[in-house]
Chain A
Amino acid sequence: MSTELQQPPFKSGVLRWIDERLPVLTWAYNELVVYPAPKNLNYWWNFGSLAGIILVVQIVTGVILVMSYTPHADLAFDSVEGYIMRDVNWGWLIRYLHANGASMFFALVYIHMFRGLYYGSYKKPRELLWILGVIILLLMMATAFMGYVLPWGNMSYWAATVITNLFSAIPLVGEPLVTWLWGGFTVANPTLQRFFSLHYLLPFVIFAVVFLHILALHQFGSNNPLGIDLSKKDKIPFHPYYTVKDVFGLCVFLLVYGYFVFYAPTAFISPTNFIPADPLQTPTHIVPEWYFLPFYAILRAITFDFLWIVPAKLGGVIAMFAAIGVLFFVPWLDTSKVRSARFRPIYKWFFWLLVIDVLVLGWAGANPPEGWYLVAAQLGTLYYFAHFLVIMPVLGKIERPLPLPTSLSDPVLRGTRSQTAN
């Protein structure tokens, strides 16, 4: 791509003058207009651009919120619930767009990632593209966690307490580390203020990593539902084909987003977060936002000391971080030469089992770690790691993939044509 840049068809001399000196327009033109995309992408390929759009929405609504938000333990709750929601013109809209935008962002990104897992989009030569994606996920988690603390409701306070406390499990340095993170001996105003600072900063870091993510994508181009390398004749320019398709997808997405913002704006907000932070009143169940639930289940699944040297709490923390860490190695854990699950009759089933497993973990995470919930969390955790560490490597070696087509017009595809061309 980068070797054969096309000149944009300028009508204005001013634009050409600028572009000769600073070729951003040529760059944008090549990335967003002529970028040759596979002809056969299905709607699962819409979620990347949607995630990019919601990132911009979060940044814009966030910057507006900051104009009326007060990052101080005594004032934060009132500035959100008493001022932004009531007195600021359209404050309720901006706040609900931002709060629900975070949930939408995670939903889109999770679908986007499962898409990658199904079609093998992480395989050579797209390993770095995938790794950059996992980095984005980590940054999003940090951002959303710290954002959730900002309204300083009681769940904000206790979520911050529980999660930061995890670091105390680290041997030797744990306790001092937590004190350092808090800026004191409990979660308090200094904690809120540093979280605010980082919550403002990280989205811009995400933006930069997204930029690299797209750079890596355009190096080899998008993968496609067949997972094979396509020749030039099977590609079409991004504009107008995928621009219209993305705008159509955006409209559908806005209907879902709009439903939550306007008709169920508190669906994702725990009632406890409408009670101001209170260090003396521990909520009966401390539950994080839905998008953290599977990881929360893994954290609490480790209720036993491991090999007598790793205490349960530390084990849980390690398992939780490992659940994300393992994703970095997926390009090498999957030993199959075939990318798309469409040609992997067994992997296809294990893919759906993983989806179910993550849903079960989410359900277990929403409930107290006792009884069947705990059993589900433990089995779910075991299966989660087995999927990546055992099933993926072994399956790639023993599975007999279906014959691969060599191009979109290959006769092997007959009968599946109608599915691939939409």
Chain B
Amino acid sequence: MRKMLIASLVAAVLAGSPGGLFAAEGKHPEDRDWPQEGIFGTFDKAALQRGFQVYKEVCAACHSVRYLRFRDLLGIGLDEETIKAVAGEYTVIDGPDDSGEMFERPAKPFDVFPSPFPNPQAARAANGGALPVDLSLIVKAREGGEDYLYSLLVGYTDPPADEEGLPGAYYNPYFPGGWIAMPPPLSEDMIEYADGTPATVEQMAADVTQFLSWLAEPELEERKRVGLKFMLFVLVMTGIFYAYKRKVWARLH
């Protein structure tokens, strides 16, 4: 018993020392409002389309999205023609054909968005040993979701004076540990938005965050729509059965 108490006291002191407990965790992300939040929240289609453009022109150089097929882009409001055209910009490897050869062909709407690297090893080799993760589920796969992703993208700063730099890494307080192998991906006016929106870093970060949020939860709007009907129905049933229960039980008194 005494051994236990001493051990716990020692542990308590150790945990209380700075850097003991939270060193590995990143800075708390900024709490932003997103149109898809809340009971009635829906995606902002224009933002999703801009976000797709950011992904396609910037992030796709390093990150794959293996759960995105071109035809899924119907969900962000692109029409079939546009989707065919977008797919046509890419080539995919298909086959084998009748003579047993693999061949290249333009991508079709049913194809998965091509990955920038043939395998994780190649992706690491091109990124100084760090793996640019697949972004399909990234919003669900990080504590803080959209807020974290946005903060990470806009959060690059100069390191504090007492921080020792890491070779091949950039300082970003929101990333656990503070040093991330991804160079700051966004810079002002690096892309030209199709709808003419000024391409500030904040704008691009917010747009691509919403696009990736949609990609992680494409069912969100349908889910909330069905949910509303379900909740209203059950609410009415609750009222009816409450009244009915009182009526039946009144016989007992």
Contact = CB atoms under 8 A, between A and B. Distances in A.
B4 interface: yes
Interface string B13-35: 01110000100110000000000
Interface string A245-258: 10110011011001
Contact of A263 (B39, B219, B245): B39
A378 interface: yes
Nearest to A243: B248
B-side binding surface: helix, strand, loop or mixed? helix
- Contact size class for B? 35 or more
A351 B57 CA distance: 62
Contact of B67 (A81, A96, A368): A81
A266 B8 CA distance: 34
A83 to B, nearest CB: 9
Chain A interface SS verdict (over half): helix
Given A245-B245, A255-B234, A372-B12, A265 B67 contact: no
Contact of A303 (B4, B234, B235, B253): B4
B252 A272 contact: no
Nearest to B16: A371
A92 B219 CA distance: 7
A248 B245 contact: yes
B39 A244 contact: no
A422 B7 CA distance: 52
Contacts of A265: 223
A262 B12 contact: no
Q: Which of B7, B140, B245, B248 has the most CB of A within 10 A?
A: B245
B67 A263 contact: no
Given A240-B248, A262-B224, A263-B227, A378 B8 contact: yes
A92 B237 CA distance: 25
Interface string B214-228: 001011001110111
Contact of B241 (A247, A258, A378): A247
A99 B27 CA distance: 30
Contact of B252 (A39, A258, A274): A39
Contact of A262 (B15, B176, B226, B244): B226
A259 B231 CA distance: 8
Nearest to B222: A92
Given A254-B234, A262-B230, A241 B16 contact: no
Contacts of B15: 370-372
Contact of A275 (B141, B230, B242): B141
A262 B227 contact: yes
A271 to B, nearest CB: 5
A370 B8 CA distance: 7
Interface in A340-371: 368, 370-371
A236 B252 contact: yes
Contacts of A254: 234
A284 interface: yes
Given A241-B249, A248-B245, A371 B14 contact: yes
A258 B253 CA distance: 35
B231 A258 contact: yes
B161 interface: no
Contacts of B235: 255
A240 B247 CA distance: 11
A240 B251 CA distance: 11
Given A248-B245, A255-B231, A368-B21, A263 B8 contact: no
Contact of A258 (B14, B230, B242): B230
B122 to A, nearest CB: 18
A82 B67 contact: yes
A274 B238 contact: no
B218 A86 contact: yes
B66 interface: yes
B59 interface: no
A241 B245 CA distance: 7
A92 B222 CA distance: 10
B249 to A, nearest CB: 6
Contact of B140 (A259, A262, A271): A271
B239 to A, nearest CB: 9
Contacts of B16: 371
Contacts of A252: 238
A93 interface: yes
A375 interface: yes
17 contacts: A82-B136, A241-B249, A241-B252, A251-B241, A255-B234, A262-B224, A262-B227, A262-B231, A263-B39, A265-B223, A274-B140, A284-B176, A303-B7, A374-B11, A374-B12, A375-B12, A421-B253
